[in-house]
Amino acid sequence: MLLGRYDDEGRFQYIGCTTSLARAAGVAIAGLLAAGRRGYPWTSWSFSAGWGSREKLNVTLVEPELVVEVGVDVARDASGRWRHPARWHRARPDLSPADVPRLTPPPR
C-alpha cells in the first residue's frame, strides 16, 4: 500500500509504502477505499517496487481518505520519505486525514 500525508500547504505527499499485506488485511481494507477521482494528485506517477529496484508497481489510485496505523523505521531520505517499507498494523476508520499531523520537511 502506498502511503501519504498532507503537508502544510494542503498537498498530498507520497511518504512511503507498506510491506506486502496479508490477503485478509487486503480484503478488509478494500471495502474501506473509494476509487480515485479525476485530477488525483498522483495521476501518471510511477512507483518502484523497492529501494534501488527498476521494477514498477501496478498501482490503483484511491481517494486519500483512509487513515492507517503503521510501524516505521526512522530512516528517511532527503525528501522525508521513509526509506524502508512500513509495517501494516490496522485501518483507523475512526480518524480522518485532518486528525493526522501535517507532514513537515525534514531538518537540513
**Domains of the chain, residue spans:** 1-108
Total Cβ atoms within 10 A of residue 100 = 13
* Rounded Cα–Cα distance for residues 27 and 16 (Å): 21
Superfamily of segment(s) 1-108: Nucleic acid-binding proteins (2.40.50.140)
Which amino acid would we find at residue 104?
Answer: T
pLDDT digits (tens, 9 = 90+) for 65-86: 999 999 998 888 888 888 889 9
Q: Strand runs (DSSP E) across the chain, as ranges?
A: 2-6, 12-17, 68-71, 87-91
pLDDT digits (tens, 9 = 90+) for 19-65: 889 999 999 899 999 888 777 777 777 777 666 777 887 788 888 89
Bridge partners, residue 70, by sequence: 88
